[in-house]
Amino acid sequence: MAKIAILGFGTVGSGVYEVLCHNAASVSRRAGEPVEVKYILDPKDFTGNPVEPLVVKNIDVILQDPEIQVVVETIGGTRFAYPYVKACLESGRSVCTSNKEMVATYGAELLALAKEHGCAFLFEASVGGGTPIITPMHQCLAANVITEVEGIVNGTTNFMLTKMVRENLGFDEALKIAQELGYAETKDPGDDVDGRDACRKIAILSSLVCGHQIYPQNIPTRGIRDITVADVAAAERLNCVIKLIAWMKRGDDGSVAAGVEPCLVPRSHQLAGVDDVFNAVLVKGDMLGDVVFYGKGAGKLPTASAVVADVVDALKNGSKVHDSLFWQPAEPVDGMLTDPTPAAYYVRAAGVAPAVVEAIYGKGRVVDEHFDGCSYLVEQADAKAMAEAARKVEAMGGGDIKLLFVTGLYLGWQLNILCLFLACILGILFGLIANRKKDSQTLFPWGPAITAAAIVTLLAGQPLLEAYLSLL
């Protein structure tokens, strides 16, 4: 009989116990022997609970028991989980975990420890919950060079975005529903909505693909807090849906780019129809092409089923699994793993008139106009160009729009268009004068140019307009 211990008896830990009890016969048949939970490590009080006789408060009880073959870690985080897991591996006991933070941060070290001490370190449930992705990538796709991975790997944010689309809800309303249903943390949902959970998961997949440790802190990450009802409507006009996408790309030269960000996904794309709490990961191999893994990304029993599958694998194969499941240690890189390839960008340009937005962001189309700006789809740009455009918008500010509104009330719409045109010309001239020194990048406020243009328009606007119209 195989004896195991469970560290942490929260949602996933109790789920593991439930799966082992409910499917005892099936698990035993696949493992080749009965599997029994001997210890549960948890500081809570379990008086009157059926598992009370199994509960211990000290990790040493588990480490000193030679009968324990496999340890299941479901504590979460790294403060306690990491030293406990490290001690278990050093004692020759296999560890199965759903802890994506620990794997993303210490994966290479723990994999090496497992191989050194003849045991297994398995973490199928750390990405995709109950949806298998780790095992297929290191076994079934072993004949492929994987060049891209992209997917929806956070069920909470996917549920919220689905609600925002279907029911025309704002972020706060969608978050409240997710919290009420237990999909999002009540106290601090930041790991989900700010993209940190998805970042850890794509870091794990990137490490597996690249063969060396990729750290979450090197992956540019942005969540969904800033997504508005207007953005959802704009996506609809573009025949797209908004999804929080975690992605990585590997170049022919070995370079790696990765990120987590809300993306406009065309409705024809495989990921567009992945809704509610479901996850999907698209993997691109050089021989196979595209393959999609789809299923529930969270939940007590789906996640627990993946952990138990790892327990079976650890009992049957032990350290042999690390002939294919491993990656090398590496130091974090300086900076972020950004993708220099030009791409389309959707922006909300606050304080920017639609008439001048193309001059700032480059060629594209206005998706929607607002009182204080517009939504704009840039056809093609890189991160550097977008950062420069953002600097220009910041320099303009919302006050410029208000100033143009005031001039329009006084001059009328026809002359105000002329005023805007002259303001752009004068702004360029003022900017050239302010940055006449080589490599100077001084930001020049647009307000003085608007004021000067308004004065010119007031004094000579009508004759200038008539002269222009006479040329047509």
Task: For residue range 155-206, list pLDDT tens digits in order.
Answer: 999 999 999 999 999 999 999 999 999 888 888 999 999 999 999 999 999 9
pLDDT for res 395: 61
pLDDT band at 435 (very low <50, low <70, confident <90, very high): low
* pLDDT(141) > 70: yes
* pLDDT(441) > 60: no
* pLDDT(294) > 60: yes
* pLDDT(293) > 80: yes
Q: Which CATH number fits domain 134-296: 3.40.50.720, 3.30.70.100, 3.90.1310.10, 3.30.360.10?
A: 3.30.360.10
The dihedral through the CA atoms of 177, 181, 187, 190 has a sign that is: negative
pLDDT for res 397: 57
* pLDDT(459) > 90: no
What are the b/e assignments for 309-335, b being 16+ CB within 10 Å? bbbbbbbeebbebbeebbbeeeeeeee
* pLDDT(349) > 60: yes
Alpha carbon distance 468, 14 (integer Å): 78
Mean pLDDT, the chain, rounded, equals 90
**Sequence ranges of the chain with CATH classification 3.40.50.720:** 2-126
pLDDT for res 434: 64
CATH 3.40.50.720 fits 2-126, yes or no: yes
The residue assigned the tokens 């009968």 is: 67
**Sequence ranges of the chain with CATH classification 3.30.360.10:** 134-296
Structural tokens at position 275: 């809704």
Q: Are strands 373-381 and 343-350 parallel, antiparallel or unpaired?
A: antiparallel
Q: Are strands 278-285 and 289-296 parallel, antiparallel or unpaired?
A: antiparallel
DSSP string, 40-54: EE-SS--TT-TTGGG
* pLDDT(364) > 80: yes
* pLDDT(427) > 90: no
What percentage of residues in the chain have a pLDDT greater than 90?
69
pLDDT for res 406: 77
Q: Is 432 exposed, middle or buried (0-12, 13-18, 19+ CB in 10 A)?
A: exposed
Whether 201 is catalytic is yes
Among the listed residues 100, 115, 201, 296, the single catalytic one is 201
Segment 196-216, tens digit of pLDDT: 999 999 999 999 999 999 999
pLDDT for res 467: 80
Backbone conformation region of residue 69, classed left if phi is above 0, alpha if psi is from -120 to 50, else beta: alpha
pLDDT for res 383: 84
